[in-house]
Amino acid sequence: MVYKNKLVQKNISKEEIVSFIKELYPNNDFIPLHAPRFSNKEKEYVLDTIESTYVSSVGKYVDQFEEIMCNYTGAKYAIAVVNGTAALHISLILAGVKQGDLVLTQALSFIATCNAISYIGAEPCFIDVDPVSMGLCPSSLETFLQSSTFIKNEVCYEKESGKKISACVPMHTFGFPIEIDKLVAICSKFFIPVVEDAAESIGSTYKNKCTGTFGLLGTYSFNGNKTITCGGGGIVVTNDENLGKMAKHLTTQAKVPHKWNFFHDHIGYNYRCPNINAALACAQLEKLEEIISNKRVTANLYNDFFMNSNIHFNSEPNHTRSNYWLNSVLFESIENRDLFLEYSNTNGVMTRPIWALMHRMKMFENCLHDGLKNSIDIESKLVNLPSSFRELNSIVNE
């Protein structure tokens, strides 16, 4: 990997890292990995939904949430849903994924990506990640597609199983954008639609364009641990008018609009985002840029601290702006990683290893994969460090 040959000038101990983190987040007995940050706006908007009685899936904040997301991301359509997993599920249905199909994705991801694929009865097929972005690697994808698939009538099939490959779901790990333009170009050569899992990368850009807006569809999560949160919520974005309309239709029980009749023309889902959550989302979105700037300052401080040391700090790939949702480092070995996890977590600093790779779960252990060399290396060495917004003065007010 690229960072192996770098100059090691200092050895940093686990004690030094923990004291550094305590300096970054002073006056905390316990430092969480990522805490949400609220101010008076959130209270005001949520209270407004309660006072209006419109707390459920119809209301002005749902419309505003969608409008703000269109404006912010540049996508033509944004559909607010109950969470990021539901956003992925609906997007995969709209991309044309069917039972028995294969969906290309990373083994190095949160399990929601694979769960959404499984809800349809499709199966994930795991491609390795890039060592710098930690997201789906375009050249590994191209190697797999060239060696293991064939195309018939503009449909891509996996050679051994004969199964259709009906989508590719890259994920922008911890907010680091992958080389999404390259990946989309490769997928289109093989007639494979791209659904971007941008759950972790709201506000991150690749060549000045928001992650989530390169593929046919993109999804975001507003879960409590993400960069901004609305308790639970998600967004589907697309530039395709039919898909945008269908996303809204399918997530509202596929009810045919009528003044009073109940008639439904598809199997629909109750996936619409409630107004009370959308209110929280609108307030959080007003502060997104401030939150990202603050998090980027913290990432810089971590970067300086780990510079030229035995521990590698993961910094944003070229041509990107990362939201630095979760900062991460790579230890030299799994033993050193575990010593640090033990020490930090018993000393009031929450740290976590990366997710176990998906092909290690019994549900996905028989899925196809390409060897996953970089994924396995990262899995054994990575630790996420506290990454919450840092209060630079103690009073939060606006």
Structural element, H or E, at residue 41: helix 40-52
Nearer to ligand PLP, 110 or 305 (CB): 110
Nearer to ligand PLP, 17 or 228 (CB): 228
Q: State how far Cα 87 lies from the chain centre.
A: 11
* Order of strands across the sheet that contains 234-238: 77-81, 234-238, 217-221, 195-197
Which of helix, strand or coil describes residue 45? helix
Nearer to ligand PLP, 113 or 327 (CB): 113
Give the single-character DSSP code of 211: T
Stretch that binds ligand PLP, among 11-19, 193-201, 202-210, 296-304 (CB under 6 A): 193-201
| 80, 112, 129, 168: which one binds ligand PLP (CB under 6 A) | 112
Axis-axis angle for helices 14-24, 334-346 (nearest 10): 50
Q: Could you tell me the smallest distance in angstroms from the CB atom of residue 63 to ligand PLP? A: 20
CA distance 291 to 277: 19
Please name which of 219, 200, 242, 255 lies closest in space to residue 116, comparing C-alpha atoms: 219
Pair 90, 236: CB distance under 8 Å: yes
Which of helix, strand or coil describes residue 345? helix
Q: Is 113 in the site for ligand PLP (CB under 6 A)?
A: yes
Q: Is 133 in the site for ligand PLP (CB under 6 A)?
A: no
Question: Residues 152-171: x/- map of binding to ligand PLP (CB under 6 A)?
Answer: -------------------x
99-138 b/e (C-beta count within 10 Å ≥ 16 → b): eebbbbbbbbbbebbbbbbbbbebbbbbbbbbbbbbbbbb
Nearer to ligand PLP, 17 or 97 (CB): 97
| 128, 130, 142, 197: which one binds ligand PLP (CB under 6 A) | 197
| 66, 101, 123, 200: which one binds ligand PLP (CB under 6 A) | 200
Nearer to ligand PLP, 90 or 199 (CB): 199
Neighbours of 340 (CB within 10 A): 23
CA distances for 97 relative to 102, 111, 121, 124, 223, angstroms: 8, 18, 9, 11, 25
Q: Is 271 in the site for ligand PLP (CB under 6 A)?
A: no
Nearer to ligand PLP, 199 or 354 (CB): 199
CB-nearest residue to ligand PLP: 84
Question: Residues 216-245: x/- map of binding to ligand PLP (CB under 6 A)?
Answer: -----x-x----------x-----------
Nearer to ligand PLP, 24 or 217 (CB): 217
Q: Is 176 in the site for ligand PLP (CB under 6 A)?
A: no
Stretch that binds ligand PLP, among 42-50, 79-87, 207-215, 375-383 (CB under 6 A): 79-87
Q: Is 323 in the site for ligand PLP (CB under 6 A)?
A: no
Structural element, H or E, at residue 220: strand 217-221
Angle value at C-alpha 369, between 315 and 198, nearest 5 degrees: 40
Nearer to ligand PLP, 177 or 234 (CB): 234
3-state secondary structure 239-306: CCHHHHHHHHHHHECCECCCCCCCCECCCCCECECCHHHHHHHHHHHHCHHHHHHHHHHHHHHHHHHH
CA distance 31 to 382: 19
Q: Is 322 in the site for ligand PLP (CB under 6 A)?
A: no
Q: Could you tell me the smallest distance in angstroms from the CB atom of residue 172 to ligand PLP? A: 8
Stretch that binds ligand PLP, among 92-100, 195-203, 252-260, 366-374 (CB under 6 A): 195-203
Q: Could you tell me the smallest distance in angstroms from the CB atom of residue 135 to ligand PLP? A: 10
Which of helix, strand or coil describes residue 351? coil
Q: Could you tell me the smallest distance in angstroms from the CB atom of residue 175 to ligand PLP? A: 10
Residues that bind ligand PLP (CB under 6 A): 83-85, 109-110, 112-113, 171, 197, 199-200, 221, 223, 234
